[in-house]
Amino acid sequence: MADFTVSKNVAAMHGSSTMIAAQMASEMRAKGIDVIDLSVGEPDFDTPDFIKALAVEGLNAGLTKYTPASGLAQFRKSIVDFYGKEFGAVLSPHEVAASCGGKQALFNAACTLLNPGDEVLIPKPYWVTFPEIVHFCQATPKYIETASNDFVLTAEMVEAAITDKTKLLIVNSPNNPTGRVIPKDELIRIIELCASRGVYVITDECYLFFAYPPAEPFSSAVLPNEVRDHVCVAGSFSKTFAMTGWRIGYTIANAEWTKAMVKLQSHSATHPTSFVQYACAKALDNIDATKAAVDSMTAEYERRRDWLIPELNKVKGFKCGMPEGAFYAFVDVRGLLGEKYASSAAVAEAMLKEAHIVVTDGEGFGADGFLRISYATSLENLNRAVNAMKELFGTN
C-alpha cells in the first residue's frame, strides 16, 4: 500500500458523530432486528410531486449542460423574488449563488473568509459540521455556552466572547440539535452587534420554515445593507422541501463575498445540478404550491412535537423543553447518570441494545448529558419508541 499521509487540513477534522448511530442501526437491521431510527436528520416526507415534475420538465427542456458556477440566472432571480415576496427582502442576483446543499454554502462562506489563526464563535450545542469547517480553514473555534439561557444565544453572550481575533460567528436558528429559535429581536441585536464590531456572521437558515407558532420564520436577508454587508445566509432546499438527496442550496451575501464563493466553487463542485436548479427556481416562482407543501409538512412536525414532548417527559430521568423549531427534541438525561449509566452515550447505547431505538448522543454536539431525538418519523414509530423507552427506564 502507498505511504499515504492525509493533509493537515483534513487531519484536523473529525468524522461525523451523527453517522455513528446510523451505522450501528444499519448493522442491527442487517441482522434482522426491527430498529426504530430516531437519529435521522432528514424529513420522512417525499419531495412534493410538483417539484419532481419540474425536474423532469427541466431535463426534457435540455438543461443537461453546465450552468454558470454561480447558478442559472433564473435560479438566482427566483431566490431574489421569493425572499422579496416572503420576507420583504431587497436583494440583487449578484448577492445570490447556488450551491450543492446548505453544507457547501457554509463551506464556501467560511473558506472565503477565514485565515489561519482567526477565531470563530460557535454557540454550544452546535451542529457537528460547524467546528470541522473551521478546523479545515485552520481557524480556531471559540465556543459560547448557552445552557444558562436554555440554549438560546443572546447578544450579551456574544459581546462577552468577542476578542481582537474574532472574525466570524456562526448561528443556526431554528437550531439543530436543540430545536430552539432565537427570538427575532435578539437575533437582530446579535447581528447588529457583530457588524458594528467588524465580525462577520454566517446564519445557517436550513430549518428556516420549520418554526412553530408563536415562533416565526425570520431570515437575516431582510436586514439593512450596512448590517447585511457582514452576513452570509446559508440556505438549503434539503429540509424545507424534503429534498436532501437533490443537493441544492444557496448563499446570500454581499456581492464581493459572493464573487469569492463562486470563484472557490468554480474550482470544486462547479455548480449544483442544472435541472435541479431549474426545478427549484420554478417551484419558488409558484409560491402558492410551495407554501402549501411547506405548510403541510410544518403542521405535521408540529403535531408530532405536541404529542412527543409530554410523552418524553413521562420517561423516568428524561427532561425535555418544548422545541420551537426544526424537528428535534433535545432531552436532558443527566437524571439517569450514575452507577448504571456513566454518560449520555451509555444511555444511548442501552436504548439501542435493549430497546432497539437509535438516538444521537449529545456529546458530538458539545452537550454531554443530552440526547437528540428526531421526530422526522411517523407518529406510529414515535409511539412505539416511547413505549419502549418507558419500559426500559420506567415512568415518573
Which residues are near ligand PLP by CB under 6 A? 41, 101-103, 127, 172, 176, 204, 206, 236, 238, 244, 249
Nearest distance, CB of residue 319 and ligand PLP, angstroms: 23
Residue 93 vs 235, nearer CB to ligand PLP? 235
Residue 37 CA to chain centroid, in angstroms?
Answer: 19
Distance CA 82, CA 4 (A): 47
Toward ligand PLP, which CB reaches closer, 128 or 347? 128
Task: Using alpha carbons, select from 274, 208, 284, 303 the residue that is nearest to residue 48.
Answer: 284
CB-wise, 52 or 319, nearer to ligand PLP?
52
Q: How far, in Å, CA of 245 to CA of 41, rounded?
A: 12
| Least distance from ligand PLP to the Cβ atom of residue 109, Å | 12
Using alpha carbons, select from 134, 82, 79 the residue that is nearest to residue 249: 79
CB nearer to ligand PLP: pick between 106 and 315: 106
- In the complex, minimum distance from the CB of residue 293 to ligand PLP, in angstroms, rounded to a whole number: 17
Name which of 177 and 317 has its Cβ closer to ligand PLP: 177
Between 236 and 377, CB nearer to ligand PLP: 236
Q: Are 280 and 237 in contact (CB under 8 A)?
A: yes
For 139, residues 6+ apart whose C-beta sits below 8 A from its C-beta are 110, 114, 115, 116, 117, 118, 119, 120, 167, 168
Interacting residues of 343 by C-beta distance below 8 A, sequence separation 6+ = 337, 361, 363, 368, 369
Q: How far apart are CA 70 and CA 255, in angstroms?
A: 12
Phi and psi torsions of 18, nearest 5°? -70, -20
Nearest distance from residue 261's CB to ligand PLP, in Å? 15
**Nearer of residues 67 and 175 to ligand PLP, judged by Cβ:** 175
Cβ proximity to ligand PLP, 355 vs 359, nearer residue: 359
Nearest approach, Cβ of residue 299 and ligand PLP (Å): 21
> Which residue's CB comes closest to ligand PLP?
101
For residue 333, the Cα-to-chain-centroid distance in whole angstroms is: 23
Count CB atoms within 10 A of the CB of residue 288: 7
CB of 115 to ligand PLP, least distance (A): 23
The residues facing 120 across adjacent strands are 141, 168
Instruction: Please identify, using beta-carbon distances, which residue of 105 and 389 lies nearer to ligand PLP.
Output: 105
> Least distance (Å) from ligand PLP to the CB of residue 342?
28
Q: How far is the CB of 176 from ligand PLP (least distance, A)?
A: 4
Look up residue 196 and give its three cell numbers: 458594528
Least Å distance, CB 104 to ligand PLP, is 7
- Pick between residue 93 and residue 272 the one whose CB is nearest to ligand PLP: 272
Smallest separation, CB 179 to ligand PLP (Å): 11
